[in-house]
Structure 1
Amino acid sequence: MSNVWKKVVVFLGSTRNNRIGDRVGKFVCRKLKEKNLDVIFVDPVEYTLPLLNKPCHFYRGTENPPQQLSDMDKHIIESDAIVVVSAEYNHSIPPALSNTLDHFGPRSYERKPSAIITYSPSVVGGARAGMQLRAMLGELGCISISNMFTISQVHKCFDENGMPLDTEPGSHMDSGIERCLKQLEWWANAAKYQRDTNGGF
């Protein structure tokens, strides 16, 4: 079927020392790869970008953007969905995450859904950052699905390889990520069908 989603870009938000976000990122990427998807993982620790000076879409004419920006922009444009894995810094979006997202324009993100996965050591699970991300992703054109997956007390949830410590069938980690990704898949396929048959808007 031509409308089956194929590619997802996963953005990780945290750069702090002793972060747990990379464990959450590994967990999410593994779950997506189990669905036979091409997963592009954007870790701001490894994918080093300066504080935003000139975003990719501000380069004009014969002036070419840096190769890493050009390559990542192509991945975003080609993707069928966006997943954002975010910590909560001072009850808000981590600056490394917004800095990375803002290096690319709405024309790269538009006409595809996004999923928000947040975490924190508290019982809130990063939900306050998640609500702010809803507004940001909506303005970028990759409107978030309703099922935001939050992980509270994240320091108790994963080993260093991103494997859940609670292995009981139907655990919050298993059931939560599956509900989120199932909804994302539905919207990704719907949006891909529209892009393939009706083009832009």
Structure 2
Amino acid sequence: MSATETAPLRIAVIVGSVREGRAGRAVTDWFLGTAEGADDLHLDVVDLADVELPMVMPGWGGTPSPEAVAALADVTPRLAAADAFVVVTPEYNHSFPASLKNFIDWHHEQWHAKPVGFVSYGGLSGGLRAVEQLRLIFAELHAMTVRDSVSLHGPWSGLTEDGAPRDEAVCEGAAKGMLGQLSWWGRSLRTAREIRPYSG
């Protein structure tokens, strides 16, 4: 096997909510715990609450602040280096946070020919309507979303104080299933990009 095939899979885990009092970081920490012990995975958490992104898009006029330029200089190479992504998102008004859309839109080729998995939470839908919309956006960006996702329903009553799901066995099984699909696609597409670079 080649070095590419045996190297740990680099997964960027994106925390999409920046709201005060958000459940997103606790949900992310729980998800990271389900992946513990997997030596073949390298997880890099990109918390959008720590990334000061400009609201002016490239080519739309205006000049991003020096802080925004610095934020992009730190985070963009991390996305480029990733083999796959996991997006942790709540559902707000049948959709996903504006902070997440802004972050996605600031990048383009970094998503190309890479798989994306989802961990969603929120109300009775468990964030599934946010995931449905994100699948359309990532398709436009030449990314491939894996079929199975992790959906946490009613996190304010469905999560313990430390952020773990109350129905932990079912949710952990879903997380491991999604990670299995993400790993298969991540490794397959990484090898494919090495053999034949993706042109888009």
- Per the normalisation by structure 2, the TM-score is 0.84
Corresponding residue of 1:194: 192
Q: Give the counterpart of 1:180 among 169, 178, 181.
A: 178
Structure 2: give runs of 5+ residues left out of the alignment: 62-67
Report if the CA contact (8 A) 1:33-1:39 is conserved.
no
Report if the CA contact (8 A) 1:82-1:142 is conserved.
no
Q: Residues 65-90 of structure 1, C-alpha deviation per residue, up to 9 Å, x if partnerless?
A: 82321231111111110111110111
Name the stretch that deviates more: 67-76 or 181-190. 67-76
Q: Residues 78-126 of structure 1, C-alpha deviation per residue, up to 9 Å, x if partnerless?
A: 1110111110111112111111111112x11101100022111x22101
Report if the CA contact (8 A) 2:23-2:163 is conserved.
no
Instruction: Label 1:16 to 1:68 Cα distance change in 2 as closer, same or farther (>3 A).
Output: closer
Is residue 2:41 matched to residue 1:43? no
Q: How does 1:66-77 map to 2 (within 5 A)?
A: 66-77=69-80
Aligned-partner residue type, residue 81 of structure 1: A
- Per the normalisation by structure 1, the TM-score is 0.84
Corresponding residue of 2:89: 86
Aligned-partner residue type, residue 81 of structure 2: E
Name the stretch that deviates more: 155-164 or 137-146. 155-164
Instruction: Label 1:196 to 1:138 Cα distance change in 2 as closer, same or farther (>3 A).
Output: same
Corresponding residue of 1:125: 126
Aligned-partner residue type, residue 191 of structure 2: Y
Report if the CA contact (8 A) 2:16-2:89 is conserved.
yes
Q: Secondary structure at the match of 1:141?
A: coil
Q: Residues 111-142 of structure 1, C-alpha deviation per residue, up to 9 Å, x if partnerless?
A: 1100022111x221011111000001111222
Q: Secondary structure at the match of 1:45?
A: helix
Name the stretch that deviates more: 38-47 or 177-186. 38-47
Structure 1: give runs of 5+ residues left out of the alignment: 59-64
Report if the CA contact (8 A) 2:86-2:116 is conserved.
yes
RMSD: 2.2
Residue 166 of structure 1 and its aligned partner are, at CA, apart by 4.2
Q: Secondary structure at the match of 2:182?
A: helix
Which structure 1 residue ranges, 4+ long, deviate > 6 Å from structure 2? none
Percent of matched pairs sharing the same residue:
28
